[in-house]
Amino acid sequence: MPALKRSFGLLGLALVFGTSTLHAQSFEGVMEFTKTTGPVITSYKYYVKGDRVRIEEISSRGEVQGIMLVDTRDKTVTAISPERKLYMDVPNMRLPKDVETQVQKLADMKEIAGYKCEKWVVKSAKEDRQITYWVAADEFNFFIPLLETLNRKDEQAVFFLQIKDAGGVFPMLGIEQKMDGAEVSRLEVTKVTKGVQKPTLFEIPAGFNKFERN
């Protein structure tokens, strides 16, 4: 199923939310963001509820092209094709990527999507990459387990996992550049909506069949 795999191959840095109360419960809700790589702009939505995250890839016409259901407790990922009414388990056989990085947490502040964000910079001369993250703190406890479960090899994810004491924060903006300053990719949150999410969002829809590899 190349089209389905290709669709989910685009799912970049995983990002999204939950409910916040006076008792500092983990975030629950929806985050909308875009990923820009060269001239290509892709839109995503993250739905977050406890240990579950639903990632939707949205077309330019606002239609859901692909879905990933992630369980960060059980470390499982399920890909869903709404068009074909199929789902498939996504095995994670990739070894975590080991990189040498330098991390700087700076005092610069910027407001993004209603959040005051702090500037963190991660550099790797060996990888010829520098990523600037603008992070917000709002009990985003799902995010690091999400990155670990997806175990993606793109630098936006790999470099963030190099940052110590990053629990509970989320990068509202991530700018990946070569060491000469040329921009490679950009992940930017456009909207955050807090609210209770229906459990059915994180389940395989009724009537969908499992895709079996031959």
pLDDT digits (tens, 9 = 90+) for 84-111: 999 999 988 777 677 899 999 999 999 9
Q: Is residue 213 part of a domain?
A: no
pTM (predicted TM-score)? 0.85
Q: Is the pLDDT of residue 2 over 90?
A: no
Q: Which residues of 53-84 are buried (b: 16+ CB within 10 A; e: fewer)?
A: bbbbbbeeeeeebbbbbbbbeeeebbbbbeee
| Tokens at 65, concatenated | 């092209």
Q: Is residue 191 part of a domain?
A: yes
Q: Is residue 214 part of a domain?
A: no
Rounded to the nearest integer, the mean pLDDT of the chain is: 88
Total domains in the chain come to 1
Q: Is the pLDDT of residue 66 over 90?
A: yes
Q: Which CATH number do you get for residue 39?
A: 2.50.20.10
Q: Is residue 26 part of a domain?
A: yes
Q: Is residue 137 part of a domain?
A: yes
| Tokens at 176, concatenated | 């990946």
pLDDT of residue 150: 93
- Least confident window among 19-28, 69-78, 94-103, 168-177: 19-28
pLDDT of residue 133: 98
Q: Kindly report the CA angle at 88 between 87 and 92, in degrees rounded to 5?
A: 145
Question: Long-range CB contacts (< 8 A, 24+ apart) of 110-113?
Answer: 110/134, 110/173, 112/136, 112/172, 112/173, 112/188, 112/189, 113/172, 113/189, 113/190, 113/191, 113/192
The whole domain housing 135 covers: 2-207
Q: Nearest Cα to 134, choosing from 106, 153, 159?
A: 106
Q: Is the pLDDT of residue 9 over 80?
A: no
Phi and psi angles of residue 177, each rounded to the nearest 5 degrees, phi first:
-135, 155
pLDDT of residue 59: 85
pLDDT of residue 214: 62
Q: Span 65-92, mean pLDDT?
A: 94
Q: Is residue 166 part of a domain?
A: yes
Q: Is residue 212 part of a domain?
A: no
Instruction: Give the Cβ contact number of residue 141 at 10 Å.
Output: 21
Residue 194's Cβ-count burial label (10 Å; 0-12, 13-18, 19+) is: middle
Q: pLDDT digits over 144-201, tens only?
A: 999 999 998 889 999 999 999 999 999 999 999 999 999 999 999 999 999 999 999 9
Q: Is residue 87 part of a domain?
A: yes
